[in-house]
Structure 1
């Protein structure tokens, strides 16, 4: 009798998915698995006083297995690591306050999308 083995294979085929109105595209249109698919909104550079502190965008992973499937505000911190003079530290602190206002505004936009039943 011949021996048999079970082997996992990756089947590559196009998958048509629903896309929310706010989606501006996908960082990679070649997801290996359905759980890797993420919708991204327009990227916002959250900056003030010549400091680019954050990038923020709406994001949703509708097929996630270990994370939320809800629309969320995805925020990346930019590199502000370094040595600052007292004046530069003051400017950075002011920039953080101004950026906080921008993040709050993006959070309110997300709340409006969620209240409107966006996909």
Structure 2
């Protein structure tokens, strides 16, 4: 390897990734209820979220669901239904098992309704 002599006026450069702090204007779908926080470190962190639906038949919270879309995602950019399941773990009596099964049936009806709403949004928006 040849020796290299550095002179005071030799310059080296490097590329350094930095955060750019400037507002980004994005299109917002009609179903969007807002954004979590006002800052996103990266564009891929931006998501549109619809209103949260708490599915709690008989007063028992079983699911939370909302429409969501990450328009700058590197994977799937389509709108989807985010579903979060409550903790259903526990020992139950026969009557409690029957009630839980009834509540799950009721919750399934609501989840299907949200799925149909999602299908209508997808059919209307083409996204």
TM-score by length of 2: 0.85
Alignment root-mean-square deviation, CA = 1.5
- C-alpha displacement of 1:118: 6.0
Partner of 1:44: 53
- C-alpha displacement of 1:65: 0.4
- C-alpha displacement of 1:79: 1.7
- C-alpha displacement of 1:9: 1.1
1:3, 1:117 → 2: CA distance?
50
- Is this contact kept in 2: 1:39–1:60, CA < 8 A? yes
Structure 1 alignment gaps of length 5 or more? none
Q: 1:90 aligns with which of 92, 98, 108?
A: 98
TM-score by length of 1: 0.90
- Is this contact kept in 2: 1:20–1:118, CA < 8 A? no
- C-alpha displacement of 1:63: 0.6
2:28 maps to 1:58: no
Partner of 2:7: none
Greater C-alpha radius of gyration: 2
Secondary structure at 1:30's aligned position in 2?
coil
Partner of 1:12: 21
1:59, 1:44 → 2: CA distance?
12
Task: Detail structure 1 runs of 4+ shifted over 3 Å in the superposition.
Answer: 2-5
List per-residue Cα deviations over 1:55-76 (Å, max 9, x = no partner).
111111111003x100111111
- Is this contact kept in 2: 1:47–1:99, CA < 8 A? yes
Residues paired across the two proteins, number: 118
1:94, 1:61 → 2: CA distance?
34
Higher relative CO (Cα under 8 Å, sequence separation at least 6) belongs to 1
